[in-house]
Amino acid sequence: MDEIFEKIGSAQTLSQKIERRIEEAIRQKKLLVGAKLPSERELCEMFAVSRTALREALRRLSARGLIEIKKGSGMYVSELKIKDAIDSLNLYYDLSFDSNLIPQIIEVRRVFEPEIARMAANNRRDKDLDLLLKNISDLEDCDPDNTQMEADIINKFHLNVAKASCNPIVIITMEPIYSLLPRMRNLIYANVDGEKDFTIKAHRTIYEAIRDKDADKAFEAMVGQINRTLEIYTQYLKK
């Protein structure tokens, strides 16, 4: 382990430097998933730092999910999961959400979602079709006055399209954005007459294209749905 970590000069911010060094060792795969870190005493000697500075660095690494501290056993490199990345982005978007974020979300959706629909048409599985069809059925049965439930169902539909792409990077990128759709929809779609009927029709068209493995039609259907969102948002700004 001596060749992995080097001593840190006392003029530096110790806990942050320790945290960075251990993180770099994990990133560079000098420490692999499941590997046990040296003891606190050994790490203090390797870094030539106090136990207080070391423990602060370890606490932050643990909070970020990079290491797991097991009482009575030691410290281990954690296995990062897709959910960890999504949860971090969810927190960022939740804290950042305001009306200024809405046009940025729409812009990102216009860039990515049509291609995601195309990927879904090419890669979808039977279980993906079952989920999408259930989303549409739930939307049809939803009480028109229950706008929160309606928004949640639409969110699930778009998330299931992303999952049908069978690309984990798509899911990591888009799921945090989709988590904002209910709040965004409740804000800009309030009192839009006939919107539920349009939404059901648009989502059914997307579903049918994905079901039929018609990638071009899925792309165009998603373009139409996102453009409708932009149109409603433009109307919202004029109020």
Rg (CA), the chain: 24
Mean pLDDT calculated for residue range 11-40 = 90
Name the amino acid, one letter, at 33.
V
Name the amino acid, one letter, at 41.
R
Q: Is the dihedral of CA 64, 56, 78, 44 positive or negative?
A: positive
Global pTM value: 0.70
pLDDT-above-90 percentage for the chain: 60
Mean pLDDT taken over the chain:
88
Mean pLDDT calculated for residue range 44-51 = 93
Give the per-residue pLDDT at 169. Answer: 92
Return the beta strands (E) in 57-150 as ranges: 67-70, 74-77
User: Of 74-83, 86-95, 189-198, 213-222, where does the model show the most confidence?
Assistant: 213-222
Q: Is the pLDDT of residue 125 over 90?
A: yes
Mean pLDDT calculated for residue range 154-176 = 94
Tokens of 42: 């050994």
Mean pLDDT calculated for residue range 206-215 = 98
Picking from 90, 99, 87, 170, the residue whose alpha carbon sits closest to that of residue 128 is: 170
Q: How far apart are CA 38 and CA 5, in angstroms?
A: 11
Of the candidate ranges 96-100, 112-116, 189-193, the one whose mean pLDDT is the lowest: 189-193
Give the per-residue pLDDT at 3. Answer: 62
Give the per-residue pLDDT at 2. Answer: 55
Counted residue by residue, the chain has a size of: 239
Q: How far apart are CA 66 and CA 17, in angstroms?
A: 15
Q: How far apart are CA 13 and CA 210, in angstroms?
A: 53
177-190 residue pLDDT tens: 888 888 887 777 66
Picking from 147, 115, 107, 142, the residue whose alpha carbon sits closest to that of residue 233 is: 107
Domains and CATH numbers, the chain: 14-77 (1.10.10.10), 83-238 (1.20.120.530)
Q: Tokens 């590997």 correspond to what residue?
A: 35
104-123 residue pLDDT tens: 889 999 999 999 999 999 99
